Structure 1
Amino acid sequence: MAIAKRLYVPGTFIGFRRSKHHQKMHTQLLNIEGVLNMEDAKCYLGKRVAIVYRNKETDATVVWGKITRTHGNSGVVRAKFDKNLCPRFMGCPVRVMLYPNRD
């Protein structure tokens, strides 16, 4: 019996980092499935993130990013992508890759 190995953990793009009056479009907030506190989120620092979406020209397009740090105490993380994400991606699923390892 073959054991299936997971390559990614699902997550959700929940919005942009913001202050009271301004929104910072260059930093996105991600909610990773199964992460409920800051200590659990720290193991995902430095991991690659992918948003896979479909458009009319190509079958699938991937936007890559990287998790930079935690955000608050509830397990939300900050990520920076190669291109700033469009606001229509809010609520879309993301894939948090389990590589590269920092060990």
Structure 2
Amino acid sequence: ARRSPLFARDDIDPLCWFLHYVFDTMAPAAEKKRSPRLHVDAAILGYKRALRTQNPNISLIKIKGCDSKSDTEFYLGKKVAFVTKAQDGSFRVNWGKVCRAHGSNGVVRCRFSRNLPPQSIGGRVRVMMYPSRI
């Protein structure tokens, strides 16, 4: 039986070599720790509005897992990131801040450095866990 040059020595069994290779290369990958997630997902509902007028300076955002007005108090002052992908493949971020609660069902009002475009309604934003007030 002809062996490949990798197994030129007769004292190395190909199966043993393969198992050592797999366990030596896979073990460090299993031990890697993931960094903690520093954001909560949220959905853009639209702009603050009345019946016929809307205010694009303030966006309404529903935070995942936030279902009451008391839950929103934790997120007051937190940074909000609206991430879009540019044509060249780079990412652009429009930063905002949670201003106050809106109603009693966990919706918050946010102000962004540049007003969110109408196409973003129904899209996703990230509410960062900083700055901390604890």
Residue of structure 2 in register with 1:36 after alignment:
67
Residue pairs, 1:1-40, within 5 angstroms: 2=33, 4-40=35-71
More helix by share: 2
Percent identical among aligned pairs is 39
Deviation at 1:59, TM superposition (A): 1.3
- CA distance, structure 2, for counterparts of residue 63 and residue 54 of structure 1: 11
How far apart are 1:4 and its partner, in Å? 4.3
**Bigger relative contact order, structure 1 or 2 (CA pairs below 8 A, ≥6 apart):** 1
4+ runs deviating over 2 angstroms = 1-4
Unaligned ranges ≥5, structure 2: 1-30
Q: Give the Cα separation in 1 of the matches to 2:81 and 2:61.
A: 11
Decide which structure has the larger Cα Rg and report it: 2
Mark the runs of 5 or more structure 1 residues left unpaired by the alignment: none
Tell me, in whole angstroms, the C-alpha distance in 2 between the residues paired with 1:6 and 1:41.
19
Q: Residue 69 of structure 1 aligns with which residue?
A: 100
Match of 1:55 in 2: 86
Q: When the two structures are superposed, what TM-score results if normalisation uses the length of structure 2?
A: 0.73
Separation (CA, whole Å) in 2 of partners of 1:15 and 1:69: 15
TM-score by length of 1: 0.94
In structure 2, the residue matched to 1:46 is 77
Deviations 1:3-58 (A, max 9, x none): 64220000011100001221001000000000111000111000000011112145
